[in-house]
Structure 1
Amino acid sequence: MSTSNGQTLDLAALERYLAEHLPGFRGPLQATKYKGGQSNPTYQLDAASGRCVLRRKPPGQLLASAHAVEREYRVLQALQHSAVPVAAPLLLCEDSAVIGSAFYLMDHVPGRVYWDPALPELDAQQRGRIYLGAVDTLIALARLDTAAAGLADYGRPGNYFARQIARWSEQYRASETAPIAAMDALIRHLPAAAPPDDGRSALVHGDFRLDNLMWSGQGELLAVVDWELSTLGHPLADLGYFCMALRLPRNPVLPGLAGLDRAELGIPSEAALLARFGEATGLDPGADWPFHLAFHFFRLAAIAQGVMKRALQGNASNEQALAAGRMAGTIAQMGQEVLGG
């Protein structure tokens, strides 16, 4: 199977491997690449034995620690039977010789993905239920006992934001293709703006937005997907990212809600989302909220720049990779403005 950007999936080799390692598997095998996934290519696999989903590392030279499908698989295992819904993990293959990169299989969840955070296909009441359901899942993540889930060593303890700023500054510099003044400013000012570490730790998804959530037709959250950027960190991190995404401009690549009347749409205000999270967890960002937003604008801009670099190298997963990469400057500018720089 070939995709439009040159990535290939050797179905014959994959079928032979699954016949040997996946209990109950029966071919023949067909694969369909999902349109999403700027980072790790994702495919729906259909076989005589049933349907599942494959996620793989992309081909080509990769940044250190990026595209960690092995970590994704570990999280799926850890969250089985937790209050955070995920697809069931089926198989991990770390042998890149099989299809050219490491991959894993998970159960297919027949849910609905909403690509536009304005939710134009729903009514106001349904929109409100989706947004409150998303925040309730963030609450469940904040409450998760990571040690009991077997994730006590899933990340380094303490100083989450300081470490993340340093890490994404390095990742940005490694994928920089042209100077972005706003990113330079954020790299300079974010470390001093970070609040003191309070010792709180939780499993952080790292890319918690609506299009990484799968829903039933009745508005029940069926699965949180794309755990590639997950780690142990501060429980406010995913909340800041989720709310940052709502502020992005309306665009077809990384769509946000800027300029829309959220009240008319039935989408809860940012203050209401923060209050719901705070009442359930005891966490209130208070005066540090501008930092949380600016940090995530910075981080998203660094991610977008990485997508741009991979697109220029010819090994990005999605056809819109270049368009997403070109937004790095706009996103960084929003971060600089919310930080007050």
Structure 2
Amino acid sequence: MELDELQARLVPFVREKLGDPGARVENVQRGPGHAGFSYFFDAVLSSGERREYFLRLPPPGVKLEGTADLMRQVTAVRALEGTGVPHAPILWAGTEPDWFGLPYFVQPRLPGDTLKDDYPERFSDAQLREMARQAMTALAGIHRVPRERLGYLGEFWGYEFDVTRWDRFYERAAEPELLALQPRVKELLLRNIPHDAPIGLYHGDFQWSNLLYSPEGELLAVIDWELCGVGPTLNDLGWVCVFSDPAAWAHDRGSRMPHADELEAWYWEAMGGRPGDIRWFKALAAYKFGIITGFNLMLHRRGKRHDPHWEEIAPSMQSNMEYALRMLGG
């Protein structure tokens, strides 16, 4: 949707939702990320008060399921109410096409940034450790959300699906020789499934670029819930720990965040115990990311999605698989 069309649609929407027939809409901008279906905008009330918002729409012309089903994200974020997990509340959401022709949700725009690009350079090592500790406390809070709040998200599809769903991406990956260990890692993942792991709400992509911090280093919100669901909560812990373990990577990531061992310790402290072994989940995380890298590298090289960043990551495809194999004792 073009920005001028969106602004024209936002004016009656804002006036209705705020109960202010004189409200104006200004500063409509596209949000961050590749999808291009998130937007920022300001509402200026008749009193002169300015409020800043974030709008999310699904991609047009796609089936409204999975990541395109915005009500899944709405369910997860609303389930956080009263839990103490920092989040941007859902102000308005709906599936009616009256306003934008698509389902939507709106949140307040929070005054912070994520830990990507040069943002971490603003903080000392001590501040980054405290910010990481806040993140792991928030993750534990997410995993304690009562299951009865999550009905719309459905049930867990099974560990085998979590492993085999990546087969079709592996088959199309660039640099297949860097994924030579994939069959062995897949075999061990399927052979060593941890059937006793806790099941609950998971974020699906819990890592530093999906955490919003204030300029003072306070965690303001866990954001980007597109991949949320009901399943083994230790998937989130394994994922963030792999991103914070230099042993999993061959390329220089330049991260100043605490080591995975510290993150894990903070998480178990916040959970009040150790309800499982995360080595299998670390293995799955590294396995998934190695394949994701190969697939995105293929898209880039074929001109389907220009993103040269994957060329920098490519050397880690093999080390991701080697790391996964070590986690599985193979």
Give the TM-score normalised by structure 2: 0.78
> Alignment identity in percent?
24
What's the offset of the Cα at 1:231?
0.6
* Aligned-pair CA distance for 1:323: 2.4
SS in 1 for 2:307: helix
CA contact (8 A) 1:117 1:256 kept: no
Deviates more, 1:64-73 or 1:41-50: 64-73
Distance in 1 (CA, whole Å) between partners of 2:160 and 2:131 is 32
Which residue of structure 1 aligns with residue 258 of structure 2? Answer: 268
Q: What does residue range 180-191 of structure 1 map to in structure 2 within 5 Å?
A: 180-183=176-179, 185-186=181-182, 189-191=185-187
Distance 2:199 2:285 in 1: 18
CA contact (8 A) 2:241 2:260 kept: yes
1:40·1:56 contact (CA, 8 Å) conserved in 2?
A: no
* C-alpha displacement of 1:201: 0.9
Q: Given that residues 209 and 245 in structure 1 are in contact (C-alpha distance below 8 angstroms), is that contact kept between their aligned partners in structure 2?
A: yes
Ranges in structure 1 where 5+ consecutive residues have no aligned partner: 3-7, 258-264
1:92·1:103 contact (CA, 8 Å) conserved in 2?
Answer: yes
Aligned residue type for 2:143? A
Q: CA deviation at 1:337?
A: 1.2
Aligned to 1:32: 29
- The count of aligned residue pairs is 312
Which structure's CA Rg is the greater one? 2
- For 2:19 and 2:180, locate their aligned partners in 1 and report how far apart those are by CA, in whole Å: 53
TM-aligned CA deviation for residue 299 of structure 1: 2.6
Rounded to whole Å, the distance in 1 between the matches of 2:4 and 2:101 is 8
Q: Supply the distance in 1 between the matched residues of 2:165 and 2:36 (Cα, whole angstroms).
A: 20
Does structure 2 conserve the Cα–Cα contact (< 8 Å) formed by 1:72 and 1:227?
Answer: yes
Mapped partners of 1:70, 1:43: distance in 2: 17
- 2:246 is equivalent to residue 245 of structure 1: no
For residues 132-174 of structure 1, the C-alpha deviation after alignment (integer angstroms, 9 at most, x for no partner) is: 1111111212222232xx1145242373x4322233334x269
Distance apart, 1:230 and its partner CA: 0.5
**2: distance between equivalents of 1:283 and 1:109?**
33
Contact 1:13–1:99 under 8 Å retained in 2: no
Rounded to whole Å, the distance in 2 between the matches of 1:65 and 1:302 is 20
After superposition, the CA RMSD in angstroms is: 3.6
Paired position in structure 1 for 2:76: 75
Partners of 2:44 and 2:284 lie apart in 1 by: 47
Change in Cα spacing, 1:31 to 1:313, as seen in structure 2 (3 Å) is: farther
Residue pair 1:85, 1:222 contacting (<8 A) in 2 also: yes
How far apart, in 2, do the equivalents of 1:173 and 1:101 lie?
Answer: 33
Deviation, 1:310, is 9.3
Give the secondary-structure state (helix, strand or coil) at the position aligned to 2:113.
Answer: coil
Offset at residue 209 of structure 1 (A): 1.1
121-130 vs 297-306, which moves further: 297-306
Query: For the Cα contact (< 8 Å) 1:207–1:229, is it kept in 2?
Result: yes
Does 2:320 match 1:335? yes
Whether the aligned pair in 2 keeps the contact of 1:168 and 1:299 (CA below 8 Å) is yes
Task: Give me the whole-angstrom Cα distance separating, in 2, the residues matched to 1:189 and 1:249.
Answer: 18
* Distance change >3 Å, CA 186–CA 14, structure 1 → 2: farther
The aligned runs of 1:254-293 (5 Å cut-off) are 255=253, 257=255, 267-281=257-271, 282-283=273-274, 286=277, 289=279, 291-293=280-282
How far off is 1:61 after superposition?
A: 5.5
Deviation at 1:62, TM superposition (A): 7.3
Following the alignment from structure 2 to structure 1, what is the Cα–Cα distance between the partners of residues 59 and 297? 12
Q: Is the 8 A contact 2:297 2:314 kept in 1?
A: no
Asked whether the equivalents of residues 40 and 67 of structure 1 are also in contact (C-alpha less than 8 Å), the reply is: no
Residue in structure 2 matched with residue 157 of structure 1 by the alignment: 156
- 1:106 is the counterpart of 2:107: yes
The TM-score with structure 1 as length reference comes to 0.76
> Which residue pairs with 1:197 in the alignment?
195
1:42 pairs with 2:38: yes
Q: 1:46 to 1:232 in 2, by over 3 A?
A: same
Letter of the 2:144 counterpart = R
Aligned equivalents of 1:85, 1:220: Cα separation in 2: 10
The structural deviation recorded for 1:329 is 4.3
Answering whether residue 9 of structure 2 is matched by residue 14 of structure 1, we say yes
Tell me the equivalent position of 2:66.
65
- Measured after TM superposition, the shift of residue 203 of structure 1 is 1.0
CA pair 93-326 structure 1, distance change in 2 beyond 3 A: farther
Q: Residue 122 of structure 1: CA displacement?
A: 0.8
List gaps (5 residues or longer) in structure 2: 46-50
Aligned match of 1:86: 87
Aligned to 2:225: 227
One-letter identity of the residue aligned with 1:337: E
Pairwise mapping of residues 299-314 of structure 1 onto structure 2 (< 5 A)?
A: 299-303=288-292, 305=295, 309=299
